[in-house]
Amino acid sequence: MGAPYVLSNPPKVALIGGGFIGPVHAEALRRIGVQVAGLLDITPEKARPQAEKLGIPKVYSTIEEVLADPEIGAVHLASPNNVHYQHAKMALEAGKHVLCEKPLAVSSKESAELAKLAASRPKQAAGVNYNLRFYPLAQEMHTRVARGDLGRILSVAGSYTQDWLLLVDDYNWRVEPDGHTNLRAIADIGTHWMDLAQFITGRHIESVNADLATFHPERNRPIGGAETYTGPNTAKKASEAVKITTEDYGAVMLHLSGGGRGVFYVNQMHGGRKNRLYLEVCGTEGSMVWDSESPELLWLGRRGAPNQLMNRDPSILSAEAGHFSHYPGGHAEGFPDAFKQLDLAFYTYISNGCQGVPNFPTFAEGHREVQICEAIAQSAKARNWVNVEA
Ligand code: SOE
């Protein structure tokens, strides 16, 4: 049960961004014995309390200072999307391993350059944090499709819904256009759904037809901004009305390689859904359904035989999926554990000298996600089908 924890001489890590997701990275790394040696945020004054809270000994002032630090072997980019490209490029050129939060970049020009740079440096690991792949039952779905349990893939469908942006007073840097695709819900959570759908089915998204909607044409931005998931402006900080053009909602039809079809929607104003990825895949031999808000259960559908509800239990998981599960059945593994398993895959790959095929999302896959986002933005504007650049 479970990948070995012991990593031989893992690199020390610098974390870029101590906001909502940065601490999740720090905690996951600590659980696998990888030291987070330093933190960079917008200012040292902002970083210092975060570093103290997370037990990170050093605070940096600039990315240059991070990359000049000889004790740092890897960086985790948990900064806003519009600086991922610059930081990832500088870190790779400085010889560091890089794990970048999704999306990899805000344009396919940037992500293509990063994918090419990463490919030119085979002794440096370069990954994108599509953490949902690392729930054990997501791995189980991937394994079952790959070994033919579903037969030919016919369709994949589902949604990714949240309600942290439901209110007009809910605000976050994500609602501001990035100057490229200007996508928000699709780029933020839709890419999770699309990455997982492609990982599980083994099929690529080849063309898209999208419809987007902005339900709050204005939001009240607290002066000084607001972190992710911090809820409405409960402190009643002074705010200003801001026009919003990025989408709260998006629905996308898909054509998959191999002739399959797909459809999904995202909505960040779905009251009551906190952070729910829902995915159902069907093939000629049956279907499977997984819900990230009930991550320990996998529904298996059959024609001519009883349907089953499978608990995550390493004793009945495939060997491949069991590699990503460390706790017996009934001892729930969830969001933080998926981060731990992704980091374990990433740092095991590094400990093995970056040999063989990475078993974590690569920059090439992160680039493809950005290309799909660009096709979605183009499709929504033109109100027709758009092929994803090959
Ligand atoms: C906000 O939608 C967010 O923090 C995403 O950016 C993360 O990728 C997701 O895991 C949780 O929600």
Ranges of each domain in the chain: 12-132+356-362, 136-328
Please tell me the distance between residue 91's alpha carbon and the centre of ligand 1 in angstroms: 24
CA of 146 to the centre of ligand 1 (A): 28
- Grouped pLDDT means (10 residues each) for the chain, 390 residues: 75 95 96 97 96 97 98 96 96 98 96 98 98 98 98 98 97 94 96 98 98 98 75 72 97 98 98 98 98 98 97 97 97 98 97 96 98 98 96
CA of 189 to the centre of ligand 1 (A): 6
> What pLDDT score was predicted for residue 216?
98
Contact, 164 vs 269, CB < 8 A? no
Ligand 1 centroid distance, CA of 188 (Å): 7
CA distance 136 to 323: 8
Q: How many CA atoms lie within 13 A of 111 on its CB side?
A: 28
CB 373 within 8 A of CB 181: yes
What pLDDT sits at residue 5?
Answer: 72
What is the C-alpha separation between 7 and 347, in angstroms, rounded? Answer: 7
Residue whose token pair is 């797909």: 262
CATH architecture of the region 136-328: 2-Layer Sandwich (3.30)
Atom of ligand 1 nearest to the CA of 129: 8
**CA-to-CA distance for 123 and 350, rounded, in angstroms?**
8
Rg over CA atoms, the chain: 21
**Residues β-bridged to residue 16:** 40, 77
Beta strands in the chain (DSSP E): 12-16, 36-40, 58-59, 72-77, 97-100, 126-128, 153-161, 205-213, 218-222, 239-243, 249-256, 261-267, 276-283, 286-291, 297-301, 308-311, 386-387
pLDDT value of position 92 = 98
> Can you give the pLDDT at residue 2?
64
Name the pTM for this structure.
0.96
pLDDT of residue 232: 67
Q: Which residues contact 151 (CB under 8 A, 6 or more apart)?
A: 283, 284, 285, 286
Q: Nearest residue CA, atom 9 of ligand 1?
A: 189
Rounded-to-integer distance, Cα 201 and Cα 16, Å: 33
Q: Which amino acid is at 196?
A: L
CATH topology of domain 12-132+356-362: Rossmann fold (3.40.50)
Q: Return the residue matching tokens 């758009």.
A: 386
